[in-house]
Structure 1
Amino acid sequence: MSASEPQPANTLDPAQTAQWFSREVQPHESSLRSYLRSMFPSFPDVDDLVQESYVRLIRARATGKVRYARAFLFTTARNAALDFFRRRQVVAIDGVADLAALPVAEDKPDAAEAASRQQELELLAASVRDLPERCRQVLTLRLLYGYSHKQIAAELRISEHTVKAQLAKGMRRCASYFEARGISVARPTQREEQP
């Protein structure tokens, strides 16, 4: 079992967790902080957000839910920031003259729709895993973390032209993966593949 695979909660001890954290999580702290500052420039305290993300990550690891520490960390940090901003969006009832101005809660999907979405996500994850390494890295940084072409080029030490080519290649291969499994997708045009 590799360090990035989930481990059952009963085999985790503090020393293992500390070693795992030092090896798998801590090296990404500076890029996490940069990501959070660029994505959420109005967030009041990035340090609090980083610590909250670490707590959520360690709790999730204890339950065996963490396969890829870096991806889980960045996603957790983004979700923690979004949670913070959602909590701040409070509507003063006295200030609302028209009830139609209140935000409407979205209908939750039924079980069939939720299962369908889960299957689609699993298929998407499989299509991304099937990509060549460089293509997968570029696509993940762009779509999951929202990096710009310039940021991806700097992170992976490749040219922006290579980033664009790898993104286009990845999108085409994912579309082909879906079509081979009977799912029709609208293929991006040359213009849509650009930022």
Structure 2
Amino acid sequence: MAWLRDIDTWFADHVFAHDQQTRRYALRLVRNPEEAEELVQEAYARLFALENWAGIAHPHAFTLRIVRNLAIERFRRADVVRLDHGAMLHSLEIADQEPTPDIVAMDRSELNHVVKMLQEMPPRMREAMVLRRIEGLPPAQVAERMNISVSTVETHLIKALRLLMHKRTPPGETEARTEQAVRWECGERQERN
């Protein structure tokens, strides 16, 4: 089956093989077949959104954890919670404040993407961005360390930010992102003064 992607094969072997158990678990959590189906589908969608899906040690347990966390999110957002649902939610272990594994994996994936974009930048632009935004140096110290003027540092930072935003912005969101860039540029100038 050459038309299957690696993730499709992994999903079929490690996640979908436990589909009935996952659906029963979701139904036990929300006690509504339609909601249970939505939880399972959303969990599956989150799995397919992960870039490092192959690194998940226990895919079935990971999927159940996603379903559980999605159910808790739904209960918390609900305007009215039936008493039996409230009791069931109470019986679940209290969710810790740590990010869920799917969020950690997605954040890691996004961080890897940003690192790759930084590596593709021109060297001086990347150096200015790293010194200012990662090491947290003020613009004057960045300029001194790079042996350039503060306005040149700002120019490098603005170009770097625009490049990052351009590569990360989905089509149709360009206007909102441009407004963010303008606010960021103004903040940089105010901070310098």
Same fold? TM cut 0.5:
no
Query: Normalising by the residue count of structure 2, what TM-score does the alignment of the two structures yield?
Result: 0.42
What TM-score results when the alignment is normalised by the length of structure 1? 0.42
**Higher CA-based Rg:** 2
